[in-house]
Amino acid sequence: MSTTAIELTDINKNFGSVCANKDVSLKVKSGTIHGIIGENGAGKSTLMSILYGFYQADSGEISVKENKTVIRSAHDAIAAGIGMVHQHFMLVDTFTVLENVVLGTETGFSLQESLQNSKLELQRLEQDYHLEVDINAVINTLPVGLQQRVEILKALYRGAEILILDEPTGVLTPQEADHLFRILGELREQGKTVILITHKLREIMAITDNVSVMRQGEMVAHRKTSETNREELAELMVGRKVLLQIEKAPAKPGKPMLTVEHLDFTDDSGVHRVKDVSFEVRSGEIVGIAGVSGNGQTELMEVITGIKSLQKGQLKLNDHTILPSVSADAAVMRKYGMVHVPEDRQRRGLVTSFSANENIILGYHKDPAYNQLIEMDKTAIMQYCKKQMEHFDVRPDNPQLRASLFSGGNQQKLIVARELQRDPKLLVIGQPTRGVDIGAIEFIHRQIIAMRDAGKAVLLVSVELDEILSLSDRILVMFDGQIMGEVLAKDANERALGLLMAGVRKEAA
């Protein structure tokens, strides 16, 4: 019989008038991978933050390995054998892997002696758990997937028997996520206990032994993963039936709305990011661009949308030709009929210190509907924002609430509401559901398909293959700044796209 690694009993936590956890109880068996799922704001991260000592529960009990335990800080959690890998890594960018792992646990008379003493133990952990990474590499030179390995190594080095991972694939490509699952499987084989916080059902079904579902701060269900399915879990998360695969009619492509010809882009560091890229997007179709993150998709979008200057090649947008000699910023692109939902909603899509009603007109603030030349029509803006928040189900529907106080999914819906209501000719949308919960994913996907069916052209960039396959009519794959091939969505599969994403051209594949 498996022993119980963690037991939480009747945990309650309030932040002012907001109840984050209400009478939450949970048992996690030793040597298993236990998933905790729920929409954004369901209370799952708060619960794990209580277990790791970042917060203290208002009431309730924690038992670790069947012993009642008081956890007042992360130091207490580590002493109890609990480690946590956060969604946003806690690493010092300018330190080496070894220095980051050892930081805070130094022994000996000098730092050099401490590092030397730790090197052999770190190398042993790497080999035992297949977490190989160059221990002398500086963190900011490592890709995200390897940085995450360093976080796991940090926890294991500190003696963690129970490992909490908070949304671990939020910053990973599908390939990196699959590799992480293999690592987690190895940890389980070695007797470690893993708690996986996520809202991605593919991950739950792929790797967990058991799953618990949270909704609105409460624990609503516990299931053995082998005895449930994605549809049941989605319904438990949202409280209603959710369509995981949005049905759509065949595309009816019309005239080209965007034509990209021989586009090249080199960044400020002299790195050639986009290499001789050509394609077109027609009205009434969705063209998806797939690829491992960092292969030129971001720079391609930024040039197309006017964020970065066109250096070489040409663009044609709604019969307007844009050349390197012509200044065309984001405002000009909007004037020509393009709207843009950026892949980084907080850096590019919102001013998080602004209210919802200020963000809903961002970029469109000169519109006569809101701008009375001398001052803004605050009443009109407020009414417009309220209407869009209701239509796009932005919660809470408070136009005066600061954008930073909305969950990630509701921030995304606020941006989608702002851009899609402009009756564009072309929608350019990047990572539309990154960090978004399942209910909001369904809603956003419906809006994208509705745009296509209304005769709009849609250029979709996503690292989520499921999303690309579900929404696209045609799929382009980028690798090392180049288009490796084009596939009709009806003929595409993950294996074929994976080869293209790895740099194998369509003809060779």
Give residue 193's pLDDT. 96
By C-alpha distance, which of 235, 83, 436, 163 is closest to 223? Answer: 235
Q: Quick check: 507 pLDDT over 60?
A: no
- The predicted pLDDT at position 509 comes to 47
**pLDDT, tens digit (0-9, with 9 covering 90-100), for 350-390:** 999 999 999 999 999 888 888 877 889 999 999 999 999 99
Mean pLDDT over the full length of the chain: 90
Question: Looking up tokens 């399942």, which residue turns up?
Answer: 438
Looking at 231-245, 310-324, 408-422, which range is the least confident one?
231-245
Going from the C-alpha of 234 to that of each of 1, 213, 214, 410, 462, the distances in angstroms are 30, 9, 11, 18, 22
Q: What is the mean pLDDT of residues 445-466?
A: 94
Total Cβ atoms within 10 A of residue 86: 18
* 145/316 Cα distance (integer angstroms): 37
Sheet holding 67-68, edge to edge: 18-29, 4-15, 59-64, 67-68
Mean pLDDT over residues 215-227, rounded? Answer: 95
Per-residue pLDDT, averaged over 113-140, amounts to 85
* Cα(406)–Cα(423) distance, integer angstroms: 26
Ordered domains of the chain (ranges, CATH): 4-238 (3.40.50.300), 245-337+424-509 (3.40.50.300), 350-423 (no CATH)
Across 154-176, average pLDDT:
83
Q: pLDDT, tens digit, for every residue of 224-273?
A: 999 999 999 989 988 888 777 788 999 999 999 999 999 999 999 899 99
**CA 370/CA 379 separation, integer angstroms:** 9
The answer, yes or no, to whether residue 1 has pLDDT greater than 60, is no
The pLDDT value recorded for residue 498 is 83
**pLDDT score at 198:** 84
Q: Which of 201-205, 306-310, 399-403, 472-476 has the lowest mean pLDDT?
A: 201-205
What mean pLDDT do residues 166-195 have? 84
Question: Of the ranges 38-42, 338-342, 386-390, which one carries the lowest mean pLDDT score?
Answer: 38-42
Per residue in 58-110, pLDDT (tens digit) is: 999 999 999 999 999 999 999 999 999 887 778 998 999 998 888 877 665 56
Give me 140's structure tokens.
């900011």
Residue type, 332: V
Average pLDDT over residues 422-430: 95
Q: Is the peptide bond before 396 cis (omega within 30 degrees of 0)?
A: yes
Pairing of strands 286-290, 457-461: parallel
3 state DSSP class of 33: strand
Q: Where are the beta strands (DSSP E) in 58-117?
A: 59-64, 67-68, 82-85
State yes or no: pLDDT of 285 exceeds 60: yes
Give the residue from 356, 421, 412 showing the smallest Cα distance to 385: 356
pLDDT of res. 381: 95
CA angle 412, 417, 422 (to 5 degrees): 135
> Which pLDDT band, with edges at 50, 70 and 90, does 485 fall under?
very high
pLDDT value for 110: 60
pLDDT at position 114 over 70: no
Quick one: pLDDT at residue 104?
77
What are the beta bridge partners of residue 19?
14
- Work out the pLDDT band at 5, boundaries 50, 70, 90: very high
